[in-house]
Structures are given as structure tokens and as C-alpha cells.
Amino acid sequence: MTTLKDRIERRQGRVRGALRRASHGRKRLSVFRSSKHIYAQVIDDDRGVTLVSASSLEKATRESLKTGANVDAAKAVGKLIAQRAQEKGVKDVVFDRGSYLYHGRVKALAEAAREGGLNF
């Protein structure tokens, strides 16, 4: 019998495998969503390094938001990650939603990153 953790890891593997096949050398915008915060990273899988990151835990973000676990926080993190990625010269990425559905906070982060200038 499969556990919840096994199913999540399998779903995450399917998403990442599809991204690797479709990425064509682009960087990966990875999202992690916890019950209290949201995090985003732009990762270069060829070198295995994180280029830029942003989260709702950062001091500037925490001061301007009531909580890190809502759509407003996700939009703020999306804009911040797009700004930092453009400063590093990254414009084209593939969106890695992990095991999360493209809905709610994950969708809000993605749309804010697009508005900020990232292409995916």
C-alpha cells in the first residue's frame, strides 16, 4: 500500500521529469508552499546551483504583509523573484509547481512572476 508521502514524491517526480524534457536549457522556477509561508527559487539544473531565491520569510516581505500564507504574500514573492532573476540576467524559465496543484497561492506566484517579466 502506498503512503501519502510516496504518492507526493511520485507526482513530484513526474512533474520534474516532464520539465527536464521540455526545458531546453532554461532555468527552473521552483515553488515550495508550507502552511505558513511560500518560497521560490530559480535553479540552474546544469550546474546544480540556486541562482536567486525569495520567500515570505524575508524581513521586507514580512513587514508589509499580515501573513505569509495567503495569495497576497504569494504575489509579493512572485514579483520579488522576477525582479531578482532579471537582475541576474534570467528571463526564460520553466515553472516547477512540485507536487502542488496550479491553483491558489501557486497560481498567484506564477502570475506575479509573469507580470514581473519572467517568461514561461
Domains and CATH numbers, the chain: 4-115 (3.30.420.100)
Tell me what the pLDDT averaged over the chain comes to: 94
Position 114 scores a pLDDT of 97
CA dist 72 and 97 (Å) reads 18
Q: How confident is the model at residue 16 (pLDDT cuts 50, 70, 90)?
A: confident
Flag whether pLDDT at 23 surpasses 90: no
Sign of the CA dihedral with 90 first, then 91, 97, and 103 last = positive
Q: What angle do CA 4, 49, 109 make, to 5 degrees?
A: 60
Mean pLDDT for 87-112 is: 95
Q: Is-contact 27 93, C-beta < 8 A?
A: yes
| Strands 49-55 and 93-96, sheet pairing | unpaired
